[in-house]
Amino acid sequence: MLTACESDPEVGSTLYPSMTDASTPVAYIDNHSYVPKNIQANIFVQKGTSTELDTDGCELKFKIHLTIASNKDLVFNLKQDNAKIPQAYAESHEALKEDAFTVAKGTVTIKAGKLESEDEFDIKLDAASKSLIGVEDGKKMMAAFTVEAPTEVTLSEKYNAYCWEVSKKIFWVNPKGSTKGMEQLDVNTYDVNAASYGNIGPNLSDGKDDSYQQYMVSNSSTSYLKIDLKKETDIKALQLTPCGSSFFGDLNELFVREIEIFGSTADKGLFQMTDADMVQLGVATCPAMPKGPNDKWDIVFYGPQKVRHIWVRMVSAFSDSSSAFINELRIFK
């Protein structure tokens, strides 16, 4: 629990990183946050069973600071030192290997008279890393980075490292995929909660442009689109069709923009399934707001997914409405 400060900062705090001669600059690392202190977390994605990684945004940047200014320029070099990973993390995290990242900027300078470097150290997760490919889904890793300081500077005993936690997720949705050439499942072979009050019905399979099913944009699974294929089936894609015009206006603006997809092989009926039965398969974003039923959205997996049940969570709609309207659903194998 954080409480208000009632006394001057102690030696070893961010303001006074270590006990030393007051005339000697002390170099320290500070992310300007108390919890977590000098720790950053990122998630990278492996695209199905492929060797392609999405590491966009997985980047660690930080500056080096001084307690007092120096009368000369001071140069600092980045150094990986996993021995500085806190014990609480070392027990639960695998150490990040050197091939997992690239150093975009490994040297910074604190100019004479300044208290921090103008530039930041810059480390990026490497999408070509072989060690990251072999990491299992959900695995957490960590690396610790410190600096090599010039002889005129003392390195803080406590705030001398920045830890980077990296987690892996395997996503199965290919945003550039197409259903072209795939075989469509017979709409009469599976059930969908596409009728009044969330019951099983044909609203998403009747082939009519003027019918639709409404699903809430919600985190609650009671609001999800749910499919029971009746048996385990290798699914390659889903296709969602937007609505056209109606008495109420252009319903295409209420089409879903973002979805989260879950799957399960549990041998249960549609309404016996629980959140605990489902596993996330991935997320998808519709590339553009459709103009009408002809602008179908193909949601293609990187590889066949053996499932009996599919749940689709409506994350957002193009209108920013609390509801998403869907005209038709098709499933491909």
Question: Over pLDDT 90: what percentage of the chain?
Answer: 78
Is residue 202 within 8 Å of 193, Cβ to Cβ? Answer: no
Q: 202 exposed, middle or buried (CB, 10 Å; 0-12, 13-18, 19+)?
A: middle
Mean pLDDT of all residues in 47-70: 94
Count how many domains the chain has: 2
For residue 156, what pLDDT is reported? Answer: 96
User: Is residue 190 very low, low, confident or very high in pLDDT (cuts 50, 70, 90)?
Assistant: very high
C-alpha 283/C-alpha 48 separation (Å) is 12
Are 239 and 304 contained in the same domain? yes
Q: What domain range is 223 assigned to? A: 174-332
pTM metric for this prediction:
0.68
Domain final residue, candidates 113, 140, 171: 171
- Tell me: the pLDDT tens digits for 204-238? 999 988 889 999 999 999 999 999 999 999 999 99
Mean pLDDT of all residues in 3-16: 40
CATH code of the domain covering residue 101: 2.60.40.1510
Domain final residue, candidates 111, 143, 171: 171
For residue 20, what pLDDT is reported? Answer: 55
For residue 75, what pLDDT is reported? Answer: 98
For residue 2, what pLDDT is reported? Answer: 29
Are 167 and 178 contained in the same domain? no
Question: Over pLDDT 70: what percentage of the chain?
Answer: 92
Is residue 52 within 8 Å of 126, Cβ to Cβ? Answer: no
Query: Is 21 inside any structural domain?
Result: no
Whether a cis peptide bond, with omega within 30° of 0, leads into 36 is: yes
CATH code of the domain covering residue 249: 2.60.120.260
pLDDT at 181 over 70: yes
Cα separations in angstroms, 68 against 37, 111, 157, 298? 22, 12, 16, 59
pLDDT at 304 over 50: yes
Are 227 and 314 contained in the same domain? yes
Query: Is 235 inside any structural domain?
Result: yes
